[in-house]
Structure 1
């Protein structure tokens, strides 16, 4: 048995602090956890700030010091890392976890880096039993588990999965995290240097090596959605979420079908007003200008508590029948909800009694078990009709 159930690496950052706060408040006993980062002094400050017990262990570790990362992961059953952009600061940690059989969860929305990690470490993770799970926040758990939930219901109701699923963000209150903005900027810079990265970013099947499915919608331009009878607009997180959903399908043995088609867009509204709104959304860049979030900064508690999201998943069967699943969250997506989701995913891994090593999506590895935990502990809702 490892010394700690969970180690939070990056606990002095804004999101890492929220993860630590969730563990301190939700699990005052029963979970053996520690906080890790570069600065012992800052770790002590955060420990006091969040009201964690004074004896909560602190670990010094730095992405520039692989030996410190190795020493940290050898003490943990699962490492939570909020230290991004992961393509700049995450590779050595993934390598250490894969080599030592340590569980790993992150908030990654960087598909090209994820593919590189799959190529480099999948075989080693399988050998050691390390369970590496990317994208355990708003990107991409609500979408990954939303599609999984819909397909479970479709199989129960119709005897087969829905070959066409639409993910439609109906409402969302809250900001994207500074880490998301930094990751996007790092990804664009990397793509400018390497055309191979551009190919990965634009392929729906970038995370499914060896598998290419049906032609997929791009979701890049506003359109009228006849199913919803409303205008829809591009959704900024779709390029990562859709890749994760396709990876889940493949990891589950093409459980959604080899012909599965999926896209994500935002619902803009009805009629001419909806069309105008969809066009405005398509032009808007949430990461541009001085108001773009910065790493290490984030909204107040009141702003996080006032946040929410509502996502509709529409499954369309071959005969035209329709099945819907709605996923909701009770906090802002980028911080309040994300910090709870990644913490609970880590604890789900701790309690998972399998040894299925490899590089996974949350849906493929933990599925309904994680969904039930998020309903009970993280303020998410899943309703199918």
Structure 2
């Protein structure tokens, strides 16, 4: 029997990691430290929840289909905010709202590729991007990064073939945390434009970038939407993970193709989630700024604590947004290490093998820590436990 593409795709890593908890009991004075998933665990702020509840009760439209590409008011507001943030001119007809940023990526890939085509992903990659490419029958061409976790445009150029359709970047990066410098992102844009490719830039964690102002100038380039496809998520900024609201910014012509995918998968984004995203953009600017400050403080706590781990042979490869990406000092592979950390240290994290091509030796030495849900005390406790490890 022929194996389907879905059957050949690896299982969802976060769900796999959760299964490592089955049957494990944690002492009251040594609870589990879960740094496996990059998602807020707290609900949206109360004012937003109240507004969502009123909308659900008072507006019949909250429970009906809407436009496939999203509601006009949300598309217009996002276009205005992108224009302001990036000092550019973006129009509502260049915006589509999606059921989360993963769907945004899937929709774009479906619109620009055919079976057997190729997309270049820097490694370590975001595993859901790799999973979708596998299920779509698109070959993932891995672009190894160096110790700084930054991809090299010239190394990417050497990987381009007649089958290549896109290069996909994530900044601030998942899993590495690193923020791609503006000039590096621009060099990838120039490469994509020169070679006739699409450049996908997933900025799910943009709201937690340590830099102020625009992180790149791609929206300012003439005819940007012929090359550049911008992906965004409202989930992290407004704690709307369960409501699945993401966005795509690109050319109206490409959005017309993307609309076909969206119409057959979800028909339209959920109304309550779209309302929440719009309300958040209009009312929670200062609140989001406070959330960003807190994340940056937790990032600082990781940096301040690293000398303790470096003394034990650990190395920090990347840090930013929600993530710290580390090289461990032990003589066992990271997938085995991650499983053993659950019962032996009360830590749930993801091994680098989940973000690398199968057999890549670098992934066996790396782990990802999603620290956004730990305060400074929790980070200190995590470091205490890591510091005391011996394998």
TM-score normalized by the length of structure 2: 0.32
Rg (Cα) greater in structure: 2
Q: Which has the higher strand share?
A: 1
